Amino acid sequence: MPLLNHPTSSETNPLDLIIVGAGFAGLYALQRALNSNRSAVVLERGGDVGGTWYWNRYPGARCDVQSMEYSYSFDEALQQNWSWTERYAAQPEILDYANHVADRFALRPHIRFDTLADSMTFLEDCSLWRTKTAKGDVFYSRFCIMATGCLSSTNLPDFEGRDDFKGEAYHTGNWPHEPVDFTGKRVGIIGTGSSSIQSIPIIAASCAHLTVFQRTPNYSIPAHNGPIDEDYVQAIKQQYGDFRALNQQMFAGFGAHQSRWDASVFDLDESGRTQRFEARWQEGGLGFSSSFSDTGSNLEANQIAAEFVRNKIRGTVTDPETAEQLCPDQVLGCKRVCVDTDYYETYNRANVDLVSVKDHPIERITPKGLITNGTQYDFDLLIFATGFDAMTGTLLKIDIQGRGGITLAEKWSAGPVTYLGLAIDGFPNFFTVSGPGSPSVLSNMIVTIEQHVNWIMDCLDTMQARQTATIEATETASSDWVKAGNAIAAGTLFPTCNSWYLGANVPGKPRIFMPYVGGFPSYVEICENVKREGYPGFVFSN
């Protein structure tokens, strides 16, 4: 039974599981663990559940996967009972959902909030993990599940004078819990990724003046968000299982409801293509990127799609110079495409300015604002929408030591190496959920999370049946997995720009295309084969 009222476990009475993180991955892992009578404690650095949706409270924060898809499928009553209000759910509603799940499945008593996992050490003599928290608590467990999220370590660039600013300063990924009042304020925002693109229209509507500092323009597609269509909801709920199954056959684990089009851009003449792009633009959302079968793989096809978006920008933003500055020139989809409400339109407001820092990087932050290209910009409030040390940042902040005292930081010094994105050689009984080497951020995260956790729990069942003490990925299987992943990525257009998928947004970070890019269905097939064939690529020990 779980040690609910005890601050620590012991070497002689270890927990089955330490789970790090109480976002969607950690909550589901905990639910599955408790359901199979495994003792588990979740360590969560935040004050409550929700992970990404706990931290990213900036105005306009919203999921770019539709509500009926971005939700758990593991419990039929849950998916029937829960009601979403919008086509794309906003952060507060997703956080309510996470809280509802935590309460519904009585998970909270097993979660230690405000508790940072500080170090995790594999004790070879007893095959246990010892986890120490920043508060000084110590836990012993047979297994660890790292449900630490992919975008959970904020990237705050080391701008000269970064802490000198005397006004209010916030990072979008660590937003205050209290409402931030922009009324009458001069606001500066650095970055034009998804967080910025979602928040800019809302901030602009209430602040005195907004200056956007853009290094790289992004492609953004309108969400056409609005109240969810109840007939659509009922139609899905009548056959939710089938709907989930169809989505699992999609490359990214979602989007099965969208009109299908398996043809090449080159199958249609210009007017036919434009009609097709326009139809997808009107549908809105991430599906635009797959308007045709080859826009993600063929550079020329991609450029045609990209030019369609640029023309939309030119047709929306009235100042031609601003419009051109907003036009991206990298491959469409190379950086994650954004989904917005009135983003480009916002640049037609008199109180919004765009400043390119591409050729003239921010020189320094000053007490009053910042300097770029020799000009001082003054603000009352400065927002760092500068993204995350994605996929590896949070794991590497924890002092994780595997066999022989090797640290994860040493192991991954040249970039992350995993087997199936689930396991790391030299780190027995240690699993990552949606880690590098898995489809994770290129898929619907909740779908991926459920698949990973199910696979891990099946593995634990197998180990219990076989009475084995440890499971560990082999070095060969891990390096082969990384090589195979790199080979697939090299055949795509993904490595052609400086994206966070590649680690290129964090100075000094090794450049490896981190997510598995072969698609969710093929990934699942590989994982299922590994399971069916008795776990090749892993060694078990007693």
Interface residues with ligand NA7 (CB under 6 A)? 151, 157, 172-173, 190-196, 215-216, 336, 357, 362, 385-388, 498, 500, 505
Name the strand (E) or helix (H) holding 222: strand 220-222
CB of 218 to ligand NA7, least distance (A): 7
| Residue 190 C-beta: closest distance to ligand NA7, Å | 5
Of the pair 131, 211, the CB lying nearest ligand NA7 is at 211
Residue number of the CB atom closest to ligand NA7: 193
Name the helix (H) or strand (E) containing 413: none
Q: Which helix (H) or strand (E) holds 109?
A: none
- H-type alpha helices, 249-319: 270-283, 299-316
Closer CB to ligand NA7, 460 or 502, in the complex: 502
Beta carbon of residue 22, minimum distance to ligand NA7 (angstroms, whole number): 19
Nearer residue to ligand NA7 within complex by CB, 244 or 336: 336
DSSP annotation string for 450-497? HHHHHHHHHHHHHHHHHT-SEEEE-HHHHHHHHHHHHHHHHTSSGGGS
Q: Which is nearer to ligand NA7, 387 or 519 (CB)?
A: 387
Question: Could you tell me the smallest distance in angstroms from the CB atom of residue 336 to ligand NA7?
Answer: 4
Q: How far is the CB of 185 from ligand NA7 (least distance, A)?
A: 21
Task: Choose between 172 and 418: whose C-beta lies nearer to ligand NA7.
Answer: 172
Question: How many residues in the chain?
Answer: 542
Cα(337)–Cα(308) distance, integer angstroms: 14
Minimal distance, residue 501 CB to ligand NA7, in Å = 9
Minimum distance from CB of 179 to ligand NA7 (Å)? 20
Nearer Cβ to ligand NA7, position 3 or 180? 180
Q: Please, which residue, 2 or 60, has the CB nearer to ligand NA7?
A: 60
Q: Tokens standing for 82?
A: 């829960």
Instruction: For residue 476, report the phi and psi dihedrals to the nearest 5 degrees.
Output: -65, -45
Taking CA 148 as the corner, what is the angle to CA 246 and CA 469, rounded to the nearest 5 degrees? Answer: 90
Question: In terms of C-beta distances under 8 Å and separation of at least 24 residues, what long-range contacts does 456-462 make, across chains too?
Answer: 456/29, 456/145, 456/422, 456/431, 457/29, 457/32, 457/33, 457/36, 458/531, 459/531, 459/535, 460/16, 460/36, 460/38, 460/143, 461/36, 462/531, 462/535
**Long-range contacts, 73-78 (Cβ 8 Å, 24+):** 73/240, 73/241, 73/244, 73/446, 73/447, 73/450, 74/28, 74/31, 74/450, 76/240, 76/241, 78/104
Beta carbon of residue 161, minimum distance to ligand NA7 (angstroms, whole number): 13
CB of 85 to ligand NA7, least distance (A): 21
Chain position carrying tokens 């209000």: 85
Least distance between ligand NA7 and beta carbon 7 (Å)? 35
Of 173 and 518, CB closest to ligand NA7:
173
Among residues 2 and 193, whose Cβ is nearest to ligand NA7? 193
Q: Which two tokens stand for residue 159?
A: 């701008």
Residue of 478, 204, 520 lying closest to 340 (CA atoms): 204
Nearer to ligand NA7, 387 or 402 (CB): 387
d(CA 469, CA 158): 44
Q: How is residue 349 written in tokens?
A: 């407001």
